A and B are shown apart, each in its own frame.
Chain A
Amino acid sequence: MRLLLLEDDALLGDGLREYLRAEGHVVDWFSTLRDVQAVQGEPYDAWLVDWQLPDGSGLHWLATRRAAGDRTPALMLTARDRLTDRVAGLDGGADDYLVKPFAPEELAARLRAVRRRGLGAGQERLQVGDVDLDLAAHAARVAGLRVDLTAREWALVEALALRAGRVVAKADLDRLVLGADAEVQSNALEVHVSSVRRKLGRELIETVRGLGYRLATEAAR
């Protein structure tokens, strides 16, 4: 999943970025509200937002995004643990609330829950022809034989699966798979699409000419 991490503490921000990248996520880490303006409107699968930031309130930023109609799942990461804080955080637009200090394993588990909700109940396993994809275990099989995908290739499959049935614009898919590196790697997405098709079969990812890509209809429920 592509994650926006808004955390001003360098130790925690850096640690989370590395930990979540190792989990297969694409992580864009920002330390201030000013910095995050640069990616406003870009597609993310989840926001991880600290409440207390050097230049303002993360909760206020979240409320503003919600008011603008953005429904991206959001997790508040905060040291505020009072009941009133948790209520204010959830009422302010957060879908989940994690009190610091937390174990990164718990955050990863909550992100898996976000993905499950995004995929719909029982849809973490996709079957397209003889291709079997287990998005939870990051395991792919073709005709029963295990096929290894890279982190970026899983990110590509996951981004399309989370938007099943919809055409995902190439620019958005670029961002979802490559994160902030997308602009400097202009043809990297095509390379990953090609690689996935080579490993799992051409029919898994459809190209909708002039619009973008879409997961195969059969896989898209």
Chain B
Amino acid sequence: MTRLPSIRRRLSWLLLATAMAWGLAVSAVVWLAVRHEVNELLDDTLRASAEVLHGLLSAGGGTLPSPLAAPTAAAHDERFAWQLVGAGSQVIGRSARAPATPLLPLPTYGFADVADQWRVFGLRFGDGARVLYVAQTRAERREAQAEVALSTVLAALAVGLASAAWLRARLRRELAPVVELSTLLARYEPLDPQSRLGPATREELLPVLAAIDELGQRLARRVANERAFSAHAAHALRTPLAGIDTQLAVAMRECPPELRPRLDRVRQAAGRLTRVVAALLAMFRSGVELQWQAVDLAGLLTRLPVDGLEVQVDATAPLQADPDLISAALLNLLDNAIRHGAGRVRVALRQEAGVQHLQFDDDGHGVAPAQRAALNAALETQAYEGRMGLGLMLTDLVARAHGGSLWLPPATSGFSVALSLGHPPPSGEAASPHV
């Protein structure tokens, strides 16, 4: 079964994605702002360092002491460097980390970048023919920026994840009334006057509850009317049918012998009408909800108004089904059997993998393989109209009402019908045997 979209799951993912996107966006903005400030701060530091160094060097009259002219490497990893470049672009003095060639090919004052390695600040030195460069490694800057970015992103992600978790829990709590409503609806029985949906716990659910309650009341009224109609219809139809049959029986006794075959045919037709009416009444009376019961097949078949058929029942356990509906189905199948020349019928019940299989075989005329295939195709798609009689159609509807299906298996002789029926839901425990 395809998993349907879940409001809770969808909202959870949406909240998580929003929290993450929001966190990342905030991180990006923070990172840009911090990077700008860090660059400014480092530039200021670079400028200040250059000015201090310029002052120190200028104090010596522009003459560099020899250690500075020939620097030795410092013990630590230097992140800053300086160069004093003369008029002929020769490096007059430099720190140990500074390259032996000028940092910039032409005298440059102020800030400049040297490839991806240095951030340089140039100051005019002495007579103006010399330039003092103070530089900071780009790696140092990148490291500072990366640390800031990483801290910001991690903080944003942590806040985003915590927010998402909190929102998810909150969402679950807010959707709890909807889940409770689902549970209430599953237990709601509109036909039971004691069954109530209960008061709404959220304003948004009020119209839903009101609509369901109204629907339930309409359904209950409709079912009550149909049941009342069914009871009246049963009386109004069954009694005249009994009268017709009885009058025909009297007439057959009193009539001249040559009229008896004709009356006998009329009586057989009345018998068929009786069976059809009984089946339709049973179908109609079954209503909207199946009345699952343990049905004694043999007992049920003896009560059906069918004469002239030898019925053999092969069932070791009761059938779990709605007795009215299964009566209607069996009546239709028996009626079909009679009309198609059957004298014997076998009804067998077996259980297999949680499915009840009811097989109906008669010794009547049967159908050709091509016709059987066409009937099976029509049954599968429920394209009944014009393709089959009332009997098979009603029987198929009964099987489907029980969560099963009907098909016509091949038969070497006669006609076979196979019904598969599901089992009652766990809440609908089977009642005492229907006899």
User: Hey, which bits of chain A sit against chain B, CB under 8 A?
Assistant: 9-16, 18-19, 22, 50, 52, 77, 79-81, 83, 99-105
Report the tally of A-B residue pairs with Cβ distances under 8 A: 73
**Contact residues in B for A11 (Cβ distance below 8 Å):** 240, 243-244, 246-247
For B275, the closest partner residue in chain A by CB is A101
Which residues from chain A contact B323 at a C-beta distance below 8 Å? 83
Residues of B in contact with A, size category: 20 to 34
Given A18-B250, A103-B249, residue A12 in contact with residue B307 (CB < 8 A)? no
Q: Count chain B CB atoms within 10 A of each CB in A19, A77, A101 and give the residue with the most.
A: A101
B350 within 8 A of A: no
B241 lies within 8 A of A104 (CB): no
Residue pair B253, A12 in contact (C-beta under 8 Å): no
Which 6 A-B pairs give the minimum distances between C-beta atoms? A11-B243, A15-B246, A12-B243, A101-B242, A101-B241, A79-B238
Known: A79-B234, A101-B241. A15 touches B305 (CB 8 A): no
In the bound assembly, the distance between CA atoms of A50 and B243 in angstroms comes to 13
Q: Identify A12's interface contact among B237, B246, B274, B278, CB under 8 A.
A: B246
B188 CB to closest chain A CB (Å) equals 25
Q: A80-B231, A83-B323, A83-B434 are in contact. List 4 more A-B contacts (CB 8 A).
A: A11-B246, A12-B243, A19-B249, A100-B242
Contact A19 B246 (CB under 8 A): yes
Return 20 A-B CB contacts under 8 Å, by A number.
Answer: A11-B240, A11-B243, A12-B239, A12-B242, A12-B243, A16-B246, A77-B242, A79-B237, A79-B238, A79-B239, A80-B234, A81-B234, A100-B238, A100-B241, A100-B242, A101-B238, A101-B241, A101-B278, A102-B245, A103-B245
Partner of B253, one of A9, A22, A102: A22
Contact partners of A101 in chain B: CB under 8 A: 238-239, 241-242, 245, 274, 278, 305
State which of B234, B240, B307, B434 has its C-beta within 8 Å of the C-beta of A9: B240
Find chain B residues with CB under 8 A from A52 CB: 235
Chain B CB within 10 Å — which of A13, A77, A79 has the most? A79
Residue of A nearest to B247 (CB): A15
Instruction: Say yes or no: A19-B234 contact (C-beta < 8 A), given A11-B243, A12-B239, A12-B243.
Output: no
CA distance A10 to B241 in the complex (A): 12
- Asked if residues B249 and A104 are in contact (CB atoms below 8 Å), the reply is yes
Q: What residue of chain A has the Cβ atom nearest to residue B324's Cβ?
A: A82
Q: For B247, what are the chain A residues with a Cβ–Cβ distance below 8 Å? A: 11, 14-15
> Which chain B residue lies CB-closest to A16?
B246
Q: A11-B244, A81-B234, A83-B434 are in contact. Are A100 and B239 (CB under 8 A)?
A: yes
CB distance from A24 to the nearest CB of B (A): 13
How far is it, in angstroms, between the C-alpha of A73 and the C-alpha of B303 when the chains are bound?
A: 22
Q: Which residues of A contact B243 (CB under 8 A)?
A: 9-15
Residues of B within 8 A of A16 (CB): 246
Q: Report A-chain residues with C-beta under 8 Å of the C-beta of B435.
A: 83
Task: State how many angstroms separate the Cβ of A104 from the closest Cβ of chain B.
Answer: 5
- A15-B250 in contact (CB<8A): yes
Q: CA A14 – CA B242 in complex, angstroms?
A: 11
CB neighbours of B231 from chain A (8 A): 80
Question: Would you list which residues of chain B between 231 and 290 have a CB under 8 Å from chain A?
Answer: 231, 234-235, 237-247, 249-250, 253, 274, 278
